[in-house]
């Protein structure tokens, strides 16, 4: 006897070029491919995951080699040739498959270690499998466990604590300068993509107002409307800085757009309140000499890159702790699976013992004249207690690891000793 195999096969950004991944992506959603997989009789449970960085199939079966071929042919034949994907696929079985899934859910296998998006994508993929009833006992348990592993990694490490994008690094610096960003005002000069992203993150932190200054007023108005802010002309920038706390500049100008001499008279009117400048533009928009002024904090794109690089190194250190957590949880899940393997034998053992007990009670109790209901119950409890104590050691033998006898052999020994296979066959004949 043995439990079914857990198989995980897929492609990801580490092993497979984008031009192959985009052909294999399940762009039409999960419903159709999940339904197609139902045609494969050898699959007992399965689920699919498709993101921009990976396509993975997780399934339970008895014949991994055969089902691996059938699943690949069913899902991807016609999309990619065997020659194209040669060497691109990874295949994991049992403990390796469990470990890989936990690595994915914890974002340790992501392009950006520590990102949180993958967990939501996993939950969404599992929701489809659950709705179409393609996930059974093992995949249900495995996916829910992967969610809790991801939560444990987030709780016990700082893997997601430090920003690894330019836009979010700007937000982190703002928090260090002001402590709390709620109620602060931010101004965007220009409308570059990174400036927009930084503004999005800042608004998420409770920024009170977004002011947009752009060479084209129409563009400024559109962007301001997105953040429920207001648009101003470029010639109003200095005056607007009286009330602004954070300025993000990303114009396409060929030279400096804001000089130190523009800011000096402004600071006294601001009563020296701090100003945080982020210059994402290349060439730079802001005069580097501005940083020499008191209570002015100026960061350019290289400064932000340095922050991101330091944060990446910090995440790599945290990843070591996260991998240890994944290893622990993989072993725990494997133990749960091992427990499932002995369950049928334990059930059979109890059933046989209970049958013998009831048979003997049926023979003996009618011969005991004059006993009442109370005495009868006492005898039945005593017989049940003897059975329980007699089965205690065989059951512990099945459940507990032994260095010199593996689990399959222990199961076979117990089934032989108690003639469980013969007893089960007899029961099936009797039921038939």
Q: Which long-range contacts (CB under 8 A, 24 or more apart) does 148-155 make?
A: 149/102, 149/105, 149/106, 149/325, 149/326, 149/329, 150/102, 150/105, 150/106, 150/107, 150/119, 152/325, 152/329, 153/106, 153/107, 153/108, 153/322, 153/325, 153/326, 154/116
Which positions ≥6 away from 56 have C-beta within 8 Å?
A: 8, 9, 10, 11, 12, 48, 49, 50, 104
**H or E element, residue 386:** helix 373-399
Indicate left, alpha or beta for 107 from its phi (over 0: left) and psi (-120 to 50: alpha).
left
Please check whether residue 102 is in contact with residue 146, taking contact to mean a CB–CB distance below 8 angstroms.
Answer: yes
Please check whether residue 168 is in contact with residue 176, taking contact to mean a CB–CB distance below 8 angstroms.
Answer: no
Cα gap 231→191, rounded to integer Å: 12
Cα gap 98→338, rounded to integer Å: 13
Which positions ≥6 away from 135 have C-beta within 8 Å?
A: 45, 46, 47, 126, 129, 143
- In degrees, rounded to 5, the angle at the alpha carbon of residue 27 between the alpha carbons of residues 24 and 29 is 120
Please check whether residue 245 is in contact with residue 273, taking contact to mean a CB–CB distance below 8 angstroms.
Answer: yes
For the annotated catalytic residues, the residue numbers are 52
Edge-first strand listing for the sheet containing 5-12? 43-50, 54-61, 5-12, 90-93
Cα gap 319→238, rounded to integer Å: 45
Structure tokens at 381: 């409890």
246-258 burial, b at 16+ Cβ within 10 Å, e below that, comes to bbbbbbebeebbb
Please check whether residue 79 is in contact with residue 93, taking contact to mean a CB–CB distance below 8 angstroms.
Answer: no
389-402 burial, b at 16+ Cβ within 10 Å, e below that, comes to eebeebbeebeeee
Edge-first strand listing for the sheet containing 209-213? 230-232, 209-213, 185-189, 246-249, 275-279, 296-300
Structure tokens at 285: 């928009």
Structure tokens at 202: 């800042």
């Amino acid at each position: 006897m043995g439990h079914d195999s857990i198989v995980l096969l897929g492609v990801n950004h580490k092993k497979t070029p984008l031009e192959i991944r985009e052909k294999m992506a399940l762009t039409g959603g999960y419903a159709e491919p999940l339904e197609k997989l139902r045609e494969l009789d050898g699959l007992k449970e399965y689920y699919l995951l498709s993101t921009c960085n990976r396509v993975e199939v997780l399934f339970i079966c008895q014949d991994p080699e055969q089902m691996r071929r059938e699943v690949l042919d069913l899902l991807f034949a016609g999309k990619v040739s065997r020659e194209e994907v040669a060497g691109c696929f990874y295949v994991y079985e049992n403990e390796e498959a469990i470990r890989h899934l936990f690595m994915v859910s914890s974002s340790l296998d992501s392009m950006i270690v520590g990102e949180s998006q993958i967990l939501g994508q996993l939950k969404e993929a599992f929701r489809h499998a659950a709705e179409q009833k393609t996930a059974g006992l093992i995949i249900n348990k495995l996916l829910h466990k992967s969610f809790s592993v991801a939560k444990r990694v987030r709780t016990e490490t700082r893997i997601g604590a430090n920003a690894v994008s330019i836009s979010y690094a700007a937000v982190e610096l703002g928090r260090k300068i002001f402590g709390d960003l709620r109620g602060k005002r931010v101004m965007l000069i220009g409308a570059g993509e990174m400036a927009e992203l930084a503004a999005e993150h800042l608004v998420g932190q409770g920024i009170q107002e977004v002011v947009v200054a752009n060479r084209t007023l129409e563009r400024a108005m559109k962007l301001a409307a997105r953040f429920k802010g207001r648009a101003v002309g470029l010639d109003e920038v200095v005056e607007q800085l009286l009330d602004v706390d954070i300025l993000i500049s990303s114009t396409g100008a060929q030279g400096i757009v804001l000089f130190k001499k523009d800011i000096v008279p402004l600071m006294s009117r601001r009563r020296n309140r701090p100003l945080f400048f982020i210059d994402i533009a290349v060439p730079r928009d802001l005069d580097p000499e501005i940083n020499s002024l008191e209570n002015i904090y100026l960061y350019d794109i290289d400064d932000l890159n340095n922050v991101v690089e330091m944060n990446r190194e910090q995440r790599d250190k945290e990843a070591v702790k996260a991998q240890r957590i994944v290893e622990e949880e993989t072993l725990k899940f494997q133990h749960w699976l091992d427990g499932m393997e002995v369950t049928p034998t334990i059930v059979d053992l109890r059933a046989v013992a209970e049958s013998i007990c009831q048979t003997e009670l049926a023979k003996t109790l009618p011969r005991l004249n004059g006993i009442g209901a109370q005495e009868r119950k006492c005898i039945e409890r005593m017989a049940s207690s003897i059975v329980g104590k007699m089965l205690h050691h065989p059951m512990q033998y099945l459940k507990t690891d032994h260095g010199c006898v593996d689990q399959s052999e222990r199961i076979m020994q117990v089934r032989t000793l108690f003639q469980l296979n013969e007893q089960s066959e007899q029961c099936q004949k009797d039921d038939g």
